A and B are shown apart, each in its own frame.
Chain A
Amino acid sequence: MDRRKFMKDAALASACASAVAMVPGVSFGTVQEAGIAGSGLDWHKTPCRFCGVGCGLLVGVSDGKAVAVKGDPASSVSRGLGCVKGLHAVQVLYAADRFKQAYVKRDGKMVPVPISEALDLVASKMQETIDKHGKDSVALYGSGQWTIPDGYVASKFMKGCIGTNNLEANARLCMASAVTGFLTTFGADEPMGCYDDIEKTETFVMWGNNMAEMHPVLFSRCLEQRRRNPGRVKIIDLSTRATRTSRAADYTSNFRPQTDLAIANAICHEIIKNNQVDWDFVNQHVNFKEGKTNIGYGLEDHFKVTEETRAIDVEAYTAFLEDYTPEKVEKLSGVSAYDIRRLAAFYGDPNRKVISFWCMGMNQHTRGTWINNLVYNIHLLTGKISKPGDSPFSLTGQPSACGTVREVGTLTHKLPHGVVMNKEHREFAAKIWDVPVERIPAKPTYHTVEMFRAIDRGEIRFLWTQVTNPMQTMPKLGRYTPACEKDDRFIVVSDIYPTPTTAVADVILPAACWIEREGMYGNSERRTQQFDQLVEPPGEAMCDTWQIIEVARRMGFTKEFPYPRETYIKDIYEEYCLHQAGMKHGMAPYDELRKYPGLQWPYVNGKETKWRYNEKYDPAVKKGSGFEFYGKKDGKAVIYARPYEPAPEEPDTDYPFWLCTGRVIEHWHTGSMTRRIPVLNKSVPEAYVEINPEDARRMGIVDGHEVRLTSRRGTMLLKAKINGRGNPPSMSVFVPFFDENKLINHLTLDAFDPYSKQPDYKKCAIKVERA
């Protein structure tokens, strides 16, 4: 090439580069995003249908169909981003096997019937069961994908009308330990911080959390924060296998399952030893306590344990930590003392802000409450809490696990405000519901695992599930699927597609999905996100809220459910807000919710509260106190001395491998939605088992080989995945649970955390054989 030509080309190349640089200065306000001419699309805001991050999406509607998606630039959560699931979410509505009418089982076959007939049958069967076996023989099992109005009418119907506490939701399987962690340490549920902490921090510690795949949009914000602060911002991954998150992290340590308890204690040991405790903060705002130990695993029916706590002093706490020196914990956990000290140094450095992120790794844990407590201990000792950029942050897996299950309280012991055990709370709820207070029973009945055991035992004869798929998600399915198939059990399933749960149903009610109805979700950071109905549901498919109202009215509760069809979602939300009124949990008015991609509670005097318990940001905090953990009577959070205790079933000579289950980025939970999105199914069409490459070589297993996995509860064949996106350490395997044809929960154990009652899907013993 001659020199002259080279110069010209170089000039052109730089011209093209600058053209690129000029255009991104455009701002993407909602006005600019309004319908592009000729496309025929109307764009509407909605939260994403999938995980608990709560990304803001814009859905494009054309001719009554949802046809396109883009990230909502106005959303403070996702800032115009989305993940591959969210960006294809509208395709969930249009698979060919969508339920468009109700089905009723006749002579062993499901036959289509008009939905009014099916609702008649549900109401009469429910009444008949109550008459025959009592109020506690009927149960409603909902979901963290329930919208707020769904959960609210469910609670009012079961607790305020029928008068039973047989109300649970699948969030018991995913968030219960986070709740008990918050309640024991702070006395009030849900995070004190918010996602804005990501751009204000310098350190991310991922506790057993593959955020790159499970909360990808937030992870992108973490990567962006590191990119903008090179050398300063660090991502630290603590996990039981190498994941995409590990690969993006600055430091990664693999620990033996269950030993996170010991690692957290070792970090506190080092912080005290190195004199990095923020004593001003601790002396003013923290109490020290210890609780019961050897609390069991809930493997037997009717299992019960009661917590007993005692106050201890700092010396006793320090002495307790002597069992957790880095050297001792290295032997237990497999993480080097060096790595533990480095992690402690990150937490302890007074000039460094730290966020801890976690999700199912810490919650699906037979000591889930404890490990939540222990991570809070680290943040309380160092005073790195309730401040911008300093935040222990419990992530959620479902779009409204917080908004509906935790805040509305669709759990056996909960009310929309408070708990059934408390007389004042019952009176408060009864007054708003306008029902006699005696109707609300004071005793909780069954938590989820025990609820399905009660179905097996015959104490519960009627079960109605909405927006959930327990015949794929319950652990130890070998017991709970046959339980639901027993002759005199009546199972009603509201869903949008066939699942293993509709396979055991006596009635299937076709449901409206997401933007086919109006509603609101509540995400991980206390943000309530409203969406309008954007398209019509297919056929006779009906909103879950309205299904419950229809059945309740058929059972005579017309006075309790007076809401007119045109405004019922708004009416129900406004009634719900009465329960939460006040500076500690006030909700944004409905008309405000409609204007924004989402608003955070406590919503006080027209303002969101971004950091709770900190006087600077939270108007509910006592003036002059600096910080007040007002969930506790004395305003002080608790540091708990919680020991390491082993998992209920650890590998032995017969079953020498650990089994961990979880998700992949393409599929969400049981895959009943994401597998019907062509792009996602084509990427990951079936479940597989990740095996360590050395183990595979030793056993003569190559990638794609069939492998037999066997636990004490079941056995199954899966294809081996070696050197895939995840890589487990030697003698452990990982299987995703989305595949209804490979129900890995036939192998898992139904042990649970005795306080949260949340099962542990991350740890059981299996054997692995070449098939």
Chain B
Amino acid sequence: MSSKQASPLSGFLIISGFTVIGVSVLFGVRAKLQASDSHTEHHPAWASAHAAPHAVVHEEVRPPRTALTAHNSAPRPGAKVRTLQEYYSRRAYPGAPPIIPHAIEFDGVINDDCLSCHKDGGFVPEYNAYTPITGHPEFDNCRQCHVPKNVETDFVATEWQMPALPKRGRQAIPGGPLQIPHSLHFRSNCKVCHVGPQAVVEIRSSHPERENCLQCHVVDRDIPLFKSRIDTRVELAHVEK
């Protein structure tokens, strides 16, 4: 005789507070680090010095860029530039989740606290740098993978060594599009590292106006060369005779 009835929850819409004293204080977010001027100030000329050094640039076939520099320009003068060396210094191996390199006011962060800065990025005067943008804003349990560095020392020494870094500058033929030297798993948002003032300087795209990155760039894999099965069968048939 189980009967379907209207949801009895309708009377319980008021969200109850925490019963722990002082918890509301803990919900403070690092609002002061929010800044959003990255798209409002611009530097007029394309700064070729900031093109990825490995890029083979064929200027003549590129569309004029004069008005398309905002996202790929040099950061504001004097602002700290994100380098590959710094990028790797925060990871145990290429592809590892980076540590949190700055102080955290409240250790209990979850959900939107990190994303308030790292979702859209922007210039942070406090650090004189542009906030790195997350490639996966859809995941909001940030501390699942990212932890701060509170001490410099190890528990015991480790014999771990950073493995070989992805090799940059690979092209199938001279002048061909660069091949992607890393997996796209969790690194499928090209913009995060390759486009914009927060991008890593050595690997910035020379053509941020192009939308469909995978139109030209493919992941370079160690996959055996194509071998026709039909040929093999013919050969075998031939051999059998």
B-contacting residues of A (Cβ < 8 Å)?
A: 1, 5, 8-9, 12-13, 15-16, 18-20, 22-24, 26, 28, 31-41, 60, 62, 65, 67-71, 73, 80-84, 87-88, 91, 94-97, 212-213, 216-217, 219-220, 223-224, 227, 241-244, 246-248, 250-254, 274-281, 334-336, 338-339, 341-342, 345-346, 348-352, 383, 665-666, 671, 675-685, 692-694, 723-730
A-contacting residues of B (Cβ < 8 Å)?
A: 1-5, 7-9, 11-12, 15-16, 18-23, 25-27, 39-40, 42, 67-68, 70-71, 92-97, 99, 106-111, 138-141, 143-160, 163-164, 166-167, 170, 179, 181-186, 188-191, 195-196, 208-214, 219-223
Partner of B2, one of A31, A219, A277: A277
Contact A80 B159, beta carbon cutoff 8 Å: no
The distance in angstroms between the C-alpha atoms of A729 and B18, with both chains bound, is: 10
Contact A19 B155, beta carbon cutoff 8 Å: no
Contact B144 A217, beta carbon cutoff 8 Å: yes
Contact B12 A345, beta carbon cutoff 8 Å: yes
Partner of B211, one of A19, A279, A693: A19
Contact B96 A19, beta carbon cutoff 8 Å: no
Contact A216 B141, beta carbon cutoff 8 Å: yes
Contacts of B23 in A (CB 8 A): 242, 727
Interface of A is mostly: mixed
The distance in angstroms between the C-alpha atoms of A65 and B107, with both chains bound, is: 34
Closest to B27 in A: A247
Contact B95 A724, beta carbon cutoff 8 Å: no
Contact B150 A683, beta carbon cutoff 8 Å: yes
The distance in angstroms between the C-alpha atoms of A83 and B147, with both chains bound, is: 10
Contacts of B153 in A (CB 8 A): 681-682, 685
Contact A729 B96, beta carbon cutoff 8 Å: no
Contacts of A97 in B (CB 8 A): 156-157
What are 11 inter-chain pairs, A to B, with CB distance below 8 A?
A16-B196, A23-B190, A28-B185, A36-B183, A68-B96, A247-B111, A277-B2, A671-B155, A679-B92, A680-B147, A681-B155
Given the known interface contacts A26-B214, A39-B164, A679-B99, the answer about A12 and B149 at a Cβ–Cβ threshold of 8 Å is no
Contacts of A730 in B (CB 8 A): 21
The distance in angstroms between the C-alpha atoms of A250 and B8, with both chains bound, is: 17
Contacts of B147 in A (CB 8 A): 84, 665-666, 679-680, 682-684
Contact B166 A39, beta carbon cutoff 8 Å: yes
Contact B183 A62, beta carbon cutoff 8 Å: no
In the complex, the 7 A-B pairs of residues with the closest C-beta atoms, listed nearest first: A67-B163, A683-B147, A216-B144, A675-B155, A96-B157, A37-B220, A19-B211
The distance in angstroms between the C-alpha atoms of A41 and B223, with both chains bound, is: 12
Q: Residue among B147, B182, B190 with the most chain A CB within 10 A?
A: B147
Partner of B94, one of A68, A250, A342: A68
Contact B185 A82, beta carbon cutoff 8 Å: no
Q: Residue among B25, B141, B185 with the most chain A CB within 10 A?
A: B141
Partner of A279, one of B1, B159, B214: B1
Shortest CB-to-CB span from A725 to chain B, Å, is: 4
Shortest CB-to-CB span from B40 to chain A, Å, is: 7
Contact A84 B186, beta carbon cutoff 8 Å: no
The distance in angstroms between the C-alpha atoms of A220 and B136, with both chains bound, is: 13
Shortest CB-to-CB span from B122 to chain A, Å, is: 13
Partner of B107, one of A5, A251, A725, A729: A725
Contact A676 B156, beta carbon cutoff 8 Å: yes
Given the known interface contacts A36-B182, A685-B151, the answer about A350 and B2 at a Cβ–Cβ threshold of 8 Å is yes
Contact B185 A35, beta carbon cutoff 8 Å: no
* Beyond known contacts A23-B184, A84-B145, A94-B160: 12 more, CB 8 A cutoff: A12-B70, A19-B191, A33-B183, A36-B219, A38-B166, A39-B182, A217-B144, A253-B16, A345-B8, A345-B12, A351-B4, A685-B150
Closest to A7 in B: B67
Contact A242 B18, beta carbon cutoff 8 Å: yes
Contacts of B149 in A (CB 8 A): 679, 682-683
Contact A725 B170, beta carbon cutoff 8 Å: no
Contact B92 A685, beta carbon cutoff 8 Å: no
Contacts of B179 in A (CB 8 A): 37
Contact A723 B106, beta carbon cutoff 8 Å: yes
Contacts of B155 in A (CB 8 A): 671, 675-676, 681, 685
Contacts of A680 in B (CB 8 A): 147
Contact B208 A12, beta carbon cutoff 8 Å: yes
The distance in angstroms between the C-alpha atoms of A213 and B141, with both chains bound, is: 10
Given the known interface contacts A253-B16, A279-B2, A676-B158, the answer about A68 and B95 at a Cβ–Cβ threshold of 8 Å is yes
Contact A36 B97, beta carbon cutoff 8 Å: no
Contact B222 A723, beta carbon cutoff 8 Å: no
Contacts of A250 in B (CB 8 A): 15
Shortest CB-to-CB span from A384 to chain B, Å, is: 11
Shortest CB-to-CB span from A504 to chain B, Å, is: 20
Contacts of B154 in A (CB 8 A): 676, 678, 681-682
Given the known interface contacts A84-B145, A279-B2, the answer about A724 and B108 at a Cβ–Cβ threshold of 8 Å is yes
Contacts of B7 in A (CB 8 A): 349, 351-352
Given the known interface contacts A83-B144, A281-B2, the answer about A19 and B21 at a Cβ–Cβ threshold of 8 Å is no
The distance in angstroms between the C-alpha atoms of A68 and B164, with both chains bound, is: 10
Contacts of B221 in A (CB 8 A): 32, 34-37
The distance in angstroms between the C-alpha atoms of A679 and B21, with both chains bound, is: 32
Closest to A348 in B: B8
